[in-house]
C-alpha cells in the first residue's frame, strides 16, 4: 500500500507534485539540496492552495491539512520510509543517475522509484539501481495541480505490478494516465 511519498526536487515540477500528493491525503517528504528552494516551494504550494480555496475549488480547511502533510528536508535519509518516490530535478542525465543510485540505497526495499523525466530513457535510469523492476517514468504536465495528463513510461524491466501501482496511483490523484 502506498502511503508515504518522497519527492526529490522542490522546483516548479517538484513542488507541484508534492502539492497534488499531499492534497490527496498522502504524507509527503519533499527533498532538495537548496534550503531557499524548499522555502520557496512551501510558499508556492500554500499560495496555490489558497487560490484554489478562494475559487471554491477546495474547502479552506484543506489548505492547512495539505500543508501539514508536507515535510521539507535537505536530508535524503528522510526519504527512507517512502513507499513511492518521484524524482523531479533538472533534466541533466548525470545528476538524475546519481540521484537514483542514492535513492536506491536510501529508500526501503519494495519502494517504487519514479522519474518525472521527459527525455532520459527509464531503462537507463533503472540500470543504476538494484531494483530495475521497480523503476518507472511518471511524467507530470506543468502546472501539475492543474494539468490532468500524466505519462507513465515503462523501462525494459519495469514489472507489471509496478506499472499497475503507478497507474492506480495516478488515478487516485485525479489525473489521466497515458501509458
Which residues, at least 6 apart from 156, have a Cβ–Cβ distance to it below 8 Å? Answer: 123, 126, 132
* Residue 139 bears catalytic tag: yes
What is the 3-state composition of the chain as percent helix, strand, coil, each rounded to the nearest 5? 45, 20, 35
d(CA 49, CA 153): 29
DSSP 8-state secondary structure symbol assigned to residue 33:
S
**pLDDT (tens digit, 9 = 90+) per residue, 40-50?**
999 999 999 99
Q: Is the pTM of this model over 0.95?
A: yes
**pLDDT (tens digit, 9 = 90+) per residue, 46-65?**
999 999 999 999 999 999 99
Looking at residue 116, its pLDDT comes to 98
**pLDDT (tens digit, 9 = 90+) per residue, 17-38?**
999 999 999 999 999 999 999 9
Grid coordinates representing 75 are: 536530508
Active-site option among 19, 92, 139, 167: 139
Amino acid at each position: 500500500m502506498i502511503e508515504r511519498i518522497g519527492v526529490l526536487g522542490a522546483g516548479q515540477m517538484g513542488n507541484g507534485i508534492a502539492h497534488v500528493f499531499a492534497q490527496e491525503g498522502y504524507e509527503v517528504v519533499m527533498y532538495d539540496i537548496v534550503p531557499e528552494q524548499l522555502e520557496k516551494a512551501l510558499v508556492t504550494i500554500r499560495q496555490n492552495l489558497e487560490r484554489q480555496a478562494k475559487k471554491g475549488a477546495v474547502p479552506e480547511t484543506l489548505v492547512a491539512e495539505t500543508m501539514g502533510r508536507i515535510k521539507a528536508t535537505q536530508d535524503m535519509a528522510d526519504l527512507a520510509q517512502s513507499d513511492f518516490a518521484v524524482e523531479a530535478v533538472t533534466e541533466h542525465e548525470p545528476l538524475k543517475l546519481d540521484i537514483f543510485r542514492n535513492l536506491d540505497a536510501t529508500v526501503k526495499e519494495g519502494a517504487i522509484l519514479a522519474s518525472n523525466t521527459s527525455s532520459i530513457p527509464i531503462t537507463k535510469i533503472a540500470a543504476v539501481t538494484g531494483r530495475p523492476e521497480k523503476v518507472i517514468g511518471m511524467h507530470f504536465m506543468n502546472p501539475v495541480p492543474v494539468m490532468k495528463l500524466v505519462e507513465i513510461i515503462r523501462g525494459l524491466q519495469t514489472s507489471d505490478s509496478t506499472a499497475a501501482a503507478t497507474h492506480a496511483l495516478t488515478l487516485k490523484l485525479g489525473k489521466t494516465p497515458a501509458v
